[in-house]
Chain A
Amino acid sequence: MHKALVACRAGVGSSLMLKIKTEQVIKENGFPIQVEHSSLDAVSGFDGDLLITLADVAKELESQNLKQTIIGINNIVDKIEIENKLSEFLNR
């Protein structure tokens, strides 16, 4: 079972939708991933192995040498994009 954190800057608007969409994708595909939701402030204390966020935030996080894999999503309602990126993560 993987643990994922869905986060954005303020962690209110866009990431909440991203979380809902991600959960739908996980449910439909039966992916072994649990999802939590928060703002970027929670990243430092997060003990899971995956971060899911918006593409521009992902770019910034990549320079921080975090231990998690970072997935950046461009279009947060595009379930196909989310599904492809999650599959890619699971098939590493």
Chain B
Amino acid sequence: MDFIISFLSTPAILLGIVAFVGLVAQKKTGTEILTGTFKTIIGFMVFSAGGALMTGALQNFNKLFQTGFNIVGVVASPEAATAMAQEQYALVTSCTLILGFLMNLVFARITPMKNIFFTTGHSLFFACVLSLIIKSHGISDVAAIILGGTILGFCSAALPQLCQPFMRKITGSDDVAIGHFNMIGYSLSGYIGKLFSKHEDKSTEHINFPKWLSFFRDFLMGVAVIMLILFYVSALKAGRDVTQELAGTTHWLVFPMIQAFTFTAGMSILMTGVRMFLAEITAAFVSISEKFIPNSRPALDVPTVFPYAPTAVIVGFLSAYAAGLVGVAIMVIFKFPIVIIPAAHICFFSGGTAGVFGNSTGGWRGAVAGSFIVGLLLAFLPTILYPVYGSMGLEGSTFPNIDYNVIGIFIEKVLSLFS
């Protein structure tokens, strides 16, 4: 009995079983089933290892930043935050994720919101957010999974609907939805763009950007550059003695560079792991939805819309990152208890998409304004829930995404009424 409980409560194995069932249902061959199941399990281990690497580097950054600036600085990267949450609430999170998939199918089947959310990595982050908030109210595991999974499933089907009017405009068809949990922000960006509707034809695509800016399109490069800057600024501000103590035998001016690249390497490993452990589960999810939910629409990750306005992506990234830096300044001046430091890759994907949405309704003016507002939301929304995560043992990182925070704050308020 102990064996079975331990076996099934290991998230890697649990996800492996889900992949196994999916592969069997798709009538794959024996070797394919074995390979797919093992890859899912290995992928989860790879994901955890990458997370551990990121967490270690982040802890060093936090020490330097706090000593240097006397404030808590938080790098808003959902990958790192998820890795931390997975260490403590792995079972609840994994079960919430799986139930979320099933509930997504149920809601798509019985409501007119026919969106199937395929950005499974994002579902995992959301499952973490929901588990953390619900568990912080001392609710039992089973109840937390049922509540979290239902909310996750509902959001997966419902939120893409907000973006659909703009998706029709951007892609020229109704057969793809966006599936990325900033959907409240993206639709907002589209509406903000409408304020500039008389300039709609002055698109970002007429702007010629210098070639080197496409450097940031490789998201690891963006993360590396920003982390290098952050680490060096913090190390120089913290001073030689503090940095040297952390660095041990490494020279104190070499240490920040190693840490910045370590963080980036962790991110790369983590993404590789996510890719491995979600590949089979996503494939099963696709085949189920295509079989059982006719006329459903796949909600896909944001690069889906990048080909329609590649320059708007760069505009949106720059504008959202600028908003994040304005946010840092405001938090410092008004003495916020924490400072949310914008993460490069989040601003790239989320700000870039907001740029595409704003551009579709209001040209380059819409792209700049829409993604700037989204950047501000990415910066300020996490400050509200940070204390909750802090009480759950998550330090130095948080979830910036807009939908996580809007829905999360709502759940937090509702649960607070009862407890």
Q: Give me the interface of A with B, judged by CB distance under 8 Å.
A: 8-17, 19-20, 37-41, 54-57, 59-60, 72, 74-78
Contacts and interface: CB of A to CB of B under 8 A. Distances in A.
B121 interface: yes
A16 B279 CA distance: 7
B217 interface: yes
Contact of A10 (B179, B219, B300, B307): B219
Please report whether the interface of chain A is mostly helix, strand, loop or mixed according to DSSP: mixed
Interface of B: 118-119, 121-122, 171, 173, 175-176, 179-180, 214, 217-220, 268, 271-272, 274-275, 278-279, 282-283, 286, 298, 300-304, 306-307, 310, 345, 349
Contacts of B307: 54-56, 72, 74
A9 B219 contact: yes
Contact of A14 (B175, B219, B304): B304
Given A11-B271, A13-B180, A39-B271, 12 more contacts: A9-B218, A10-B303, A13-B302, A14-B303, A17-B118, A17-B286, A37-B275, A41-B220, A41-B268, A54-B303, A54-B306, A74-B307
Contacts of B279: 16, 19, 37
Given A37-B275, A41-B220, A13 B300 contact: yes
B26 to A, nearest CB: 11
Given A9-B219, A20-B282, A14 B310 contact: no
Contacts of A77: 175-176, 298, 300
Contact of B304 (A20, A59, A72, A76): A76
Contacts of B219: 9-10
B188 to A, nearest CB: 21
A16 B285 CA distance: 12
Contacts of B303: 8-10, 13-15, 54, 57
Nearest to A72: B307
* Closest 4 pairs (CB-CB, A-B): A13-B301, A55-B307, A56-B307, A56-B310
A20 B271 contact: no
A44 to B, nearest CB: 12
Contacts of B272: 39
B238 to A, nearest CB: 32
Nearest to A8: B303
Contacts of A40: 218
Nearest to B301: A13
A16 B275 contact: yes
A14 to B, nearest CB: 4
